[in-house]
Structure 1
């Protein structure tokens, strides 16, 4: 992962929440919230919360006595998440690095993280931190994307941009969001961090949009792929988005588009 793969700023948080969240994140947020509630947690920590899609799904389901600390490394993303959440005295918003959590040992019943682990510079270190702040027997619940070839729109956009920039194709999507899909590696990283009970479910869903333009804008302008496009050629973002739109339309049609998405959902016990 490159250093630029962590800079969610400018209009990216708003575009991310407007386009990416309904396109690919909402079904997995609902699933993660359901899995979390099956554990009946009283104290919850969410890391790498992004624009708060899991927070919005999980908070209404928690008991009135529960506490919920929501964190992200990127303050702009966290600020946007807080702006989208109804007032709730159970929720505390904290800027925090998953690799150096500012919390005492054995504080939480559940640590959850949706599609954030791919961005951790050192995953065993982040997992050790999750285990440290969990109470004995507490659960670490997180999701990561499967390989890019199992996620149609992301693959379509990546291949389209490779044709526009053949000498230096933007590879952010394959490199980072879809770069941590090896289940054996996930098991090994969690074992290195001290987790002994690990289960991984692979969950396929469908991504839907009213037109091919929506996923093109979502990926090209609502993710850090935007930074890569703009770094290659000034003023090329609109052209790249148009080209990605055409590529998606060619494969999925010009009306409503439906495509496969797939992720791994991981549960580990401290």
Structure 2
């Protein structure tokens, strides 16, 4: 899954936002950065380029992602870590960053409190979350394809998890509950580009938890073909571009 995720989804869906988040991180001029849910390292590599004097520690809960990311971006220190139980001392980072990871935390307030604990007194917490699924044209097209392929019981991973924490007021309240003051809360729409709608479909179907949901429903080549057909009908033939909306938050200790 990490290799498929890296090849098909990272350039299209995640790199544009990683470039934005890394630029925001560099403006803070941190000396010690902790990244949560680093995945295959797209934000990690952008952080190293944008803030070359900073020490970057990248973490992920998934061992396969840590192995892949550490090979791809060896300039950071990589560790497997649960964001809800961070294996670091109090106050040892100037900045904690997380790209599209907080939606996966079972206890978000608890995880945010852990972030607060490991930040220095003047530290910042910088992260982004996806907006509603309807504001992400690639994801919305994929979900439409899944609903066509599995009309009785379509997989609900995308709307329930990646796009299930899409109310900025709720996110801001969770930050406050963990002890942060919210310095910035901004809506951001960027454009993603892919060689084809089929590439995006393959990325989601084989490189994310959507894969398991499709397999549980007995989906095979026919289901994949249906999803690709629907996505192509919505996004177009050949090179495709689509808007994607997220929210960017910066919390202060």
Q: TM-score, normalised by structure 1?
A: 0.91
**Partner residue of 2:231?**
248
**Partner residue of 1:6?**
none
- Superposition deviation, residue 115 in structure 1: 0.4
Conservation of the 8 A alpha-carbon contact between 1:153 and 1:215 = yes
State the distance in 2 between where 1:78 and 1:32 align: 20
**Partner residue of 1:260?**
243
**Partner residue of 1:27?**
16
**Partner residue of 1:148?**
133
Conservation of the 8 A alpha-carbon contact between 1:148 and 1:174 = yes
- Superposition deviation, residue 253 in structure 1: 1.6
Q: 1:54 aligns with which of 43, 54, 71?
A: 43
**Partner residue of 1:45?**
34
State the distance in 1 between where 2:220 and 2:206 align: 8
**Partner residue of 1:84?**
72
Q: TM-score, normalised by structure 2?
A: 0.97
Q: 1:36 aligns with which of 25, 50, 57?
A: 25
Conservation of the 8 A alpha-carbon contact between 1:43 and 1:67 = yes
Runs of 4+ residues over 6 Å off in structure 1:
none
1:159 counterpart = 2:144: yes
- SS in structure 1 at match of 2:28: coil
Conservation of the 8 A alpha-carbon contact between 1:187 and 1:198 = no
101-110 or 210-219, which deviates more: 210-219
State the distance in 2 between where 1:222 and 1:237 align: 15
- SS in structure 1 at match of 2:129: strand
- Superposition deviation, residue 195 in structure 1: 0.5
State the distance in 1 between where 2:90 and 2:9 align: 34
- Superposition deviation, residue 268 in structure 1: 0.5
1:172 counterpart = 2:157: yes
Deviations 1:228-250, CA, capped at 9 Å, x for gaps: 000111xx242222212111221
- Superposition deviation, residue 212 in structure 1: 1.6
Consecutive unaligned residues of structure 1, counting only runs of 5 or more, are: 1-11
- SS in structure 1 at match of 2:23: helix
State the distance in 2 between where 1:215 and 1:63 align: 32
**Partner residue of 1:190?**
175
- SS in structure 2 at match of 1:38: helix
State the distance in 2 between where 1:39 and 1:143 align: 16
State the distance in 1 between where 2:92 and 2:178 align: 18
State the distance in 2 between where 1:195 and 1:102 align: 21
Paired residue total: 253
Consecutive unaligned residues of structure 2, counting only runs of 5 or more, are: none
**Partner residue of 1:73?**
61
